[in-house]
Structure 1
Amino acid sequence: MSLTFAPADSAVNAAPSGLPGASGHEEQKAELDSRIRTALAMGGADKLAQRRASGHLNARERIDQLLDAGSFSETGMLAVSVLPSDRESSPADAKVTGTGRIEGRRVAVVSNDMTVKGASSSAVNMRKISRLKDTANRSGMPLIFLGESSGSRVPDSLGAEAMAAAGQDPQQYCRRRETPWVSAVLGPCLGSSTWYTCLSDFVVMRKGAFLAVSSARVTSLAIGETVDPEELGGWKLHAEQTGLVDRVVGSDAEALAEIRRFLSYLPSHAGARPPSLPAAEAIAPDADKLVELVPSARSKTYDMRKVIAGIVDDGSFFNLKDRFGRAAVTGLARLNGESVGIIASNPMFKGGAMDPEACRKVTAFLVMCDSFNIPIVFLVDTPGFLVGIEGERKAAPAHIMNMIHAVQLCNVPKLSVILRKSYGQAYINMGGGRNSDAVAAWTSADASFMDPQIGVSVLYGIKREDDPARFDQLKAELARDTSAYALAGAFGVQSVIAPQQTRAWLVDGLSTHRRDRNGGIGEHEMRSWPTYL
């Protein structure tokens, strides 16, 4: 970016002798240069020095690091507060907005400037954001929020007149997913920074940052108790409990790099296919390692994330919400250079049994992929849904139905591979039957209404410790018709494959089901789906 403006050079810019009005233009240009310098100085040298000492980038440095060099075009640089008393102390009115490029593709950016009135929200800077949102939607650009804000500006936001003005944009927080939205939580995020974060398709949070409705101080006063900021809105809360955060990093620079990487998998807008890399550049992992990664004994656990890395293009897996709903894995990757969304059960956590958090995680991911034309790959090894009192208290049936609703509305290509177990309703939710364009089963796959071991106890009332020989006999009988070959015989799967054939089957399947009649663009029935359920 950084724009620099020097005072006009009188020797170079002097008007020709006798030209009327030249000195007036010089004075006007000098005033413009002065106002631009004031805007670029942000909150002043002392405040910028304090940020540098804290190890955090300022609002303009963040834009510099995020965007391709020299590509930023600012809009609203000379905006200031509507209050006459604040006009000299509110350069750019605390929010730097404009457009630029990432890897040559145009994006829109809002960068909050904490050195100016704590990046607080005001009538003017909300107008800046509103206009930039309109520009991004009309022109098909991703919208990036570099969040850090103290919330609404007081006293500007007090009183009935301010409240009436605040409600003048009825679409301010409405998402139809015309373009991707991305948020970085890089400091205290209150007010609009929080709201836009909750509406975004991807959220990265720096350790030490904060995201909440109100600050710890305001919350403490409101409830009459001392509140720990980390417990109220720290990274562990949002990465592990609320699921609002997709990735956690240690610095501003890491967060900006994560944004660039995330956007590399997505199209610029909903009317385009995701960008692809040349297939010749895709490095296939060693397929033979899949046999080592997945134990044949169904009672043994393993880490599905390693299996994913053993299938997709080398180094391309971008895990999302890894600390939340850990019985499921969601993330972006590439197969032969093409962007795909990965949804997988993970036996490393809860044996791969899907709980309400895992269902929420998968549902949100399906919404994003469907909205932006990203094909889905299911990798399945699950005993079903986690049962118990805690799950019912968390409305497990509703989350299970939300998930299958999303699967069945999802109009992008969907492929499913059953590795070992696929039992009960989870068989349907994880792309089984007609819920995928094609389904394959490893030779080790097993599919049934329930695990045969549990089925013996349910059907016959026998536990293994009561009569081991009888139990094993009944279990073998129940398991006889659950194999991959039995499933293929009933055309429940279209292919039975060896683990080493998984990547080739997926690459061929994605080529077959790429929706060429529609240019690869889906129907986007979930584009207005709530961002948090």
Structure 2
Amino acid sequence: MAHEDILDELDRRRAAACAMGGEEKLARRRERGTLNAEERLDALIDEGSFYETGFLGRSSFSAQAAGKSPRDGKITGFGTIDGRDVGVVVNDFTTMGASTGATNSKKIGYIRKTCTEKGMPFVHVGESTGARLPDAMGSRGMGQMLGNDTTQFRRMRESPWAAAALDTSFGSSAWLCCCADFAVMKKGSIMSVSSPRLVSMAIGEKVELEELGGWRIHAEQTGLIDQFVDTDEEAMAALRRFLSYMPGHNGELPPTAPVAEGSGDDQERILDILPETRNRVYNMKKIIDVIFDVGSVFEFKPRFGKSAVVALARLEGKVVGVVANNPQVGGGALSAEACRKIIDFTVLCDSFNIPIVRLMDTPGFVVGTDAERRGAPGHIMNFMNATCLTTVPQVTVICRKAYGRAYVAMGGGAHNDSMIAWPMAEVSFMDPVFATSIVHNRTPGDEGFEDALIEIQKDLEIWDMATIFSAHDVIKPQETRSSLIRILDIHQRRRSGGIGDHLMRSWPTSY
């Protein structure tokens, strides 16, 4: 065959790959206002930076399937986000529902392997129907498709993973969100193990899409997704923003950004937010916004475990992880869900060399029969274990209440590099009302209860802890930002270049 004919054949095959699932399917997506795979890719990475690999991949099971499977339903390759290299997989739902096949499994495995070995983030943009049938049926299908890549879902957190669940996200799109360090979901999408049709057949009753895996379920009940957005464009922007806080791999520090204008101004506002009455609630998120760089707070799981707040932020341009109690929800008492949320975030920070700032104001852990059924003791011990295994610089600020074992789990005692407190902080084994009932056998309303409560409360104030140097310093709330900047500078890991020991690198991303 002449050179010209061979090159024409290459052009023909390239054109077929670019056509994806065909104009009719692409037009239907445009009518719904849904981006196709290439449009999502364009919104995710820097313009002109994409180098595609596996462009001519197709189904390997039959000639008929091969003709219907340009790129085998997955666009894979490498690009840059804000000038930094990333590996990317974007599912093309117009091609056989982006179902998982033998060829596209090899393509995805190649991208992940390269990201891990070469030190760059991995991004998966999911929308899929699950395993491809009938390709996966029988021993030949299983033998060719599943179990041949021992690293397919193994996470040692060598590099950050980010994922999106868009529209119909079954099978691999769900798996990779659950494996990721950060996952975003578009409202109106469904993320689940299998389709409602298959689940309905399996259990013998009709299952609705929303109750199977709608965004509200994952926002409020499972905690498997970190953020929720309205559009494809917003999902791609969330993935980009997450990666702006992350190093390319676990052997380097996160990138430093210019300090936003106005950062550090008017720290006196903290006193306006913090009630003078100790039993009044307030929104800790407002205090976080004051302390950290303007516009830098990037919260995870805002509707899950709401008595805790976890967020990436910047402090004088440097990336930090923020773990805080929020007294506005349940008085800041830590539920099983709040513990899970903090553990996940602690593992993320420690794995990627991000210092942790804890803002403590909690009466303890949520107790009761429901908490026990949710496995509270196990989650509390996992929380304690994660705190003890943390190797990045960590600072604890006792803002107000610090009671019981929650004080330790939130970084109290020796579980930090530095512990500072506000003058209104109070520390004790339990809430003084409960302590009064136990010690003096009096409950609110009983004669002598108030006098007994005052006696118990004398020992709660932070001064005694500061006197014995269990609290390293007592500062004014408006001094918190400047103190944190200096403390984190002092406690940076100079000998290792700021790199942590990554003791939790194999901790499950979802449990």
Q: TM-score range by the shorter chain?
A: over 0.9
Matched, 1:378 2:358: yes
Matched, 1:101 2:77: no
Q: Which runs of 5+ in 2 are unaligned?
A: none
Percent identity of equivalent pairs: 49
Aligned partner of 2:441 among 456, 461, 482: 461
Structure 1 residue 47 displacement after superposition: 0.7
Deviations 1:9-63 (A, max 9, x none): xxxxxxxxxxxxxx81111111111111111110111111111111111111111
Aligned counterparts, 1:25-174, within 5 A: 25-82=3-60, 83-165=62-144, 166-174=146-154
Aligned counterparts, 1:310-325, within 5 A: 310-325=290-305
Match of 1:391 in 2: 371
Aligned partner of 1:425 among 402, 405, 409: 405
Residues in 1 aligned to 2:102 and 2:162: alpha-carbon distance in whole angstroms: 23
Structure 1 residue 164 displacement after superposition: 2.1
Match of 1:292 in 2: 272
Of the structure 1 ranges 123-132 and 78-87, higher mean CA displacement relative to structure 2 is found in 78-87
TM-score by length of 1: 0.94
Residues in 1 aligned to 2:259 and 2:172: alpha-carbon distance in whole angstroms: 41
Of the structure 1 ranges 518-527 and 156-165, higher mean CA displacement relative to structure 2 is found in 156-165
Residues in 2 aligned to 1:494 and 1:413: alpha-carbon distance in whole angstroms: 15
Say which SS state the counterpart of residue 134 (structure 2) adopts.
Answer: coil
Residues in 2 aligned to 1:401 and 1:281: alpha-carbon distance in whole angstroms: 41
Residues in 2 aligned to 1:84 and 1:45: alpha-carbon distance in whole angstroms: 22
The amino acid of 2:469's aligned partner reads F
Structure 1 residue 279 displacement after superposition: 4.5
Say which SS state the counterpart of residue 115 (structure 1) adopts.
Answer: coil
Please tell me whether the aligned partners of residues 376 and 413 of structure 1 are also in contact (alpha carbons under 8 angstroms).
yes
Please tell me whether the aligned partners of residues 107 and 136 of structure 1 are also in contact (alpha carbons under 8 angstroms).
yes
Aligned partner of 1:447 among 411, 427, 440: 427
Structure 1 residue 421 displacement after superposition: 0.4
Match of 1:9 in 2: none
Please tell me whether the aligned partners of residues 89 and 124 of structure 2 are also in contact (alpha carbons under 8 angstroms).
yes
Please tell me whether the aligned partners of residues 260 and 294 of structure 2 are also in contact (alpha carbons under 8 angstroms).
no
Indicate the structure (1 or 2) with the bigger Cα radius of gyration.
Answer: 1
Residues in 2 aligned to 1:285 and 1:232: alpha-carbon distance in whole angstroms: 46
Say which SS state the counterpart of residue 435 (structure 1) adopts.
Answer: coil
Residues in 1 aligned to 2:294 and 2:440: alpha-carbon distance in whole angstroms: 48
TM-score by length of 2: 0.98
Structure 1 residue 458 displacement after superposition: 1.2
Residues in 2 aligned to 1:282 and 1:525: alpha-carbon distance in whole angstroms: 37
Residues in 2 aligned to 1:327 and 1:87: alpha-carbon distance in whole angstroms: 51
Residues in 1 aligned to 2:138 and 2:260: alpha-carbon distance in whole angstroms: 62
Match of 1:414 in 2: 394
Match of 1:517 in 2: 495
Please tell me whether the aligned partners of residues 261 and 294 of structure 2 are also in contact (alpha carbons under 8 angstroms).
no
Structure 1 residue 228 displacement after superposition: 1.2
Q: Which runs of 5+ in 1 are unaligned?
A: 1-22
Please tell me whether the aligned partners of residues 282 and 336 of structure 1 are also in contact (alpha carbons under 8 angstroms).
no
Of the structure 1 ranges 33-42 and 102-111, higher mean CA displacement relative to structure 2 is found in 33-42
Say how many residue pairs are matched: 509
Please tell me whether the aligned partners of residues 190 and 214 of structure 2 are also in contact (alpha carbons under 8 angstroms).
yes
Please tell me whether the aligned partners of residues 307 and 330 of structure 2 are also in contact (alpha carbons under 8 angstroms).
yes
Match of 1:494 in 2: 472
Please tell me whether the aligned partners of residues 198 and 532 of structure 1 are also in contact (alpha carbons under 8 angstroms).
yes
Residues in 2 aligned to 1:70 and 1:443: alpha-carbon distance in whole angstroms: 55
Residues in 2 aligned to 1:285 and 1:78: alpha-carbon distance in whole angstroms: 55
Instruction: Quote the RMSD (CA, aligned, Å).
Output: 1.1
